Amino acid sequence: MNPPGPGAWQRTSPVAIVFFVGKSAKWVYDRYGMFGQVVAAIGVTAFLLRNPQYTVLAVLTALLTVALVGGLQYWFFRFRIEDDRILIRQGVVNRAAVDLPFDRIQGINVNRRPIERILGLVTVVLDTPGSISAEGQLPTVDPEIAEQLLAKVAEHQADGPEGGAGTARDLDAAERDRTPDEAEGPATGARGDAERARGEVLQELASRDLFRMGLVSRGFVLYGLLLLVVARQVDVATDAALGAFGAVRDALGSLGALAAAVAVAALALGLLVVVVAARVASAFVRHHGYTLWREGRSYRSRAGLFTRKEAVVRIRKVQQLDVYQGAVYRIFGRHRLALPPIGGSLDADDDDDERTRETVDVDTLGVPWADSALVERIRSGVFRGEGERLAALPDDEAFTRVSRLYIRAAALRFLFVGVPAGIFLLFILSYMVAASWRGEDVDRSVLFMHQLQGWGAASAIWAALSVVLAAPVGWLRWRATAYMHDDDGLSCRTGLIGYSVEAFLFRKAQGVTVTQSPLQRRHGLATLEVETACGSVTVPYIEHALVCALRDLIVYKVESSRRRWY
């Protein structure tokens, strides 16, 4: 542009109109693309079904295009590791240049797909705060490069006045020692030894733990869905092959109601076994060989049967500590832990800012199966020097319950949110049932009336059930909700049957909100909501004066702390 002075408002080149048109097209696509894709897919499928000779051509063209584009992308992908940054050049038509200083790298994840394990290669994914995207990725590189990067980033970030550089050097040396080992491939045992020599191994999961994890994980939803599908299949099958099912039904009928109930129960039990087996298998696939260790000022974990995932999080960058203990976890005395870095739990739907969309797949370092001792250990590691007394275990005695009035509020919320939501869902359900009603001479309006009647009855039952359930639900919520704080941080427990604890340091807060409902105002109570960079922590129904004091303290800590929050 011809410069009209540095301070003046300028237009970009008129060619940018293409960019802006593209941007608005992308906006439309992001919102309504799904619909278009479905319509296009149906249209194309219909066309290809009618003209099978084009199918071969289409498939061939597609394969060729994919291969060509892939080849070109490989050819144009370059990267260079410098002393303080990594540069990546890629793109065929649109060249893209990523310039990523090591300061900005929040974590380095090393993934291994099965084929990479065979070839002894790894994929390196670089996390940066605020904007993570696919560009910070080095596919199928030599493990040595990954190690080199890890060492350089560690060295660079440890370059502080605290004498961390020495540590980094040591780590560096250790990394180099490990490299030949690594290059050999998935020799887990040998690598485990090398790790133990290098860092402090906090946890290694055995098969027994994996089996229990499979039992714990939330298979119920899947179970319900499977039941639904099977029930539906049975229904369809009776229509199609009445003969076979008729025989079964006759047999069941002749056995009597009890036997029929037993048969149904057996079927349900069989399904349950299948689901549990599937969950256990998936726990094995995901967490096989899980190792968690501490290395200098980072936690690292590695796990996976086929795809070996490695996650690294620097303690300084941890924004809050999340501990979850579901009902079944409690039986086993275990917890699930997460150390989310910035943007770790953003909603994908937060519109407006395209960059936030991509923040979603930030890797959070998770500890899926931690006993109390390990939780305590990680807690003291994360909150070392500050917030030493923050509670992380759900059954910690330092927790103070919130006001009993919360029972009423939680029960009312359950009623006012749960009942309309349930009624709405029931309407959709009744519509789906009515829509699946097949038959030639069904009067649509009669069907609609049936649907409305069914919906009304179901809604009434749901509302009555909610009224009965509201008080217990409110009480359970109140029982779960508790908080504790010290001078540096706050820890809050919430839940219904399972408990989850969120703890954070005041200086990592991003914003504070104090809310008062009419009920709270009458009793001098308030709700504190603290926003952190990876979510928010809400403490309901505590004294208004305390809430205000905490708010002022948080704002003070945020402003006065001279330590970096990220």
Partner 1 sequence: MADSTPVDTGVPGMFVNPVVPLDSLPGTESLEWTPLHPRFARRLQVGALIRAVLIVGAWTAFHLRVLPFIAERLPWLPVFAWAIIGAFCLWSLLWPAVAVPRRGYVVRDKDLLYKSGVLWRSVKAFPFNRVQHTKLDSTPLDRRFGLASLSVFPAGAGAGHRIRGLGQETAERLRVYISERIEADGDAESNDTDAAPAPAEDSEVNSETNWETNSEGAGDSGQ
**Contacting partner 1 within 484-503 (CB under 8 A):** 487
3-state class (DSSP) for residue 532: strand
Smallest gap from Cβ 251 to partner 1, in A, equals 44
Cβ proximity to partner 1, 128 vs 430, nearer residue: 128
Smallest gap from Cβ 230 to partner 1, in A, equals 36
> Roughly what angle, to the nearest 10 degrees, separates helices 16-50 and 52-76?
140
Please name the residues in contact with 324: beta carbons below 8 A apart, sequence gap of 6 or more: 335, 336, 337, 338, 498, 499, 500, 501
Q: What number of chain residues touch partner 1 (CB under 8 A)?
A: 95
Cβ proximity to partner 1, 262 vs 452, nearer residue: 452
Smallest gap from Cβ 472 to partner 1, in A, equals 25
Residue 170 binds partner 1, judged by CB under 8 A: yes
Distance CA 333, CA 326 (A): 10
What residues numbered 102-121 form the site for partner 1, per CB under 8 A? Answer: 103-104
Smallest gap from Cβ 131 to partner 1, in A, equals 5
Among the listed residues 356, 412, 479, 523, the single contact to partner 1 using CB under 8 A: 356
What residues numbered 388-447 form the site for partner 1, per CB under 8 A? Answer: 445
What residues numbered 284-323 form the site for partner 1, per CB under 8 A? Answer: 294, 296-297, 315, 319
Distance CA 289, CA 47 (A): 49
* HEC-encoded secondary structure of 290-326: CEEEEECCEEEEEECCCCEEEEEEEHHHCCEEEEEEC
Smallest gap from Cβ 88 to partner 1, in A, equals 9
Smallest gap from Cβ 141 to partner 1, in A, equals 19
What residues numbered 449-488 form the site for partner 1, per CB under 8 A? Answer: 449, 452, 487
Smallest gap from Cβ 562 to partner 1, in A, equals 5
Distance CA 136, CA 105 (A): 10
- 293 DSSP β-pair partners: 201, 300
What residues numbered 19-58 form the site for partner 1, per CB under 8 A? Answer: 19, 22, 26
3-state class (DSSP) for residue 244: helix
Among the listed residues 517, 523, 538, 543, the single contact to partner 1 using CB under 8 A: 517
CB atoms within 10 A of CB 542: 22
Joined together, the tokens standing for residue 100 give 């990523």
Among the listed residues 405, 531, 538, 543, the single contact to partner 1 using CB under 8 A: 531
Cβ proximity to partner 1, 197 vs 433, nearer residue: 197
Cβ proximity to partner 1, 287 vs 551, nearer residue: 551
Smallest gap from Cβ 184 to partner 1, in A, equals 26
Contact yes or no for 272/227 (Cβ under 8 A): no
Smallest gap from Cβ 142 to partner 1, in A, equals 24
Residue 77 binds partner 1, judged by CB under 8 A: no
* HEC-encoded secondary structure of 333-354: CEEEEEECCCCCCCCCCCCCCH
Residue 565 binds partner 1, judged by CB under 8 A: yes
Distance CA 394, CA 326 (A): 10
CB-based contacts of 384-390 (< 8 A; 24+ apart in sequence): 384/315, 386/488, 386/489, 386/505, 386/507, 387/486, 387/488, 387/489, 387/503, 387/505, 388/486, 388/488, 389/486, 390/484, 390/485, 390/486, 390/488, 390/489, 390/490, 390/491, 390/503
What residues numbered 265-284 form the site for partner 1, per CB under 8 A? Answer: none
Among the listed residues 144, 181, 200, 376, the single contact to partner 1 using CB under 8 A: 200
Residue that is written with structure tokens 């070839």 in the block: 119
User: What is the DSSP code (8-state) at residue 498?
Assistant: S
Smallest gap from Cβ 546 to partner 1, in A, equals 9
Residue 193 binds partner 1, judged by CB under 8 A: no
Residue 522 binds partner 1, judged by CB under 8 A: no
Among the listed residues 38, 97, 281, 432, the single contact to partner 1 using CB under 8 A: 97
Residue 80 binds partner 1, judged by CB under 8 A: no
Please name the residues in contact with 112: beta carbons below 8 A apart, sequence gap of 6 or more: 121, 122, 123, 186, 304, 307, 308, 309
Residue 164 binds partner 1, judged by CB under 8 A: yes
What residues numbered 139-158 form the site for partner 1, per CB under 8 A? Answer: 158
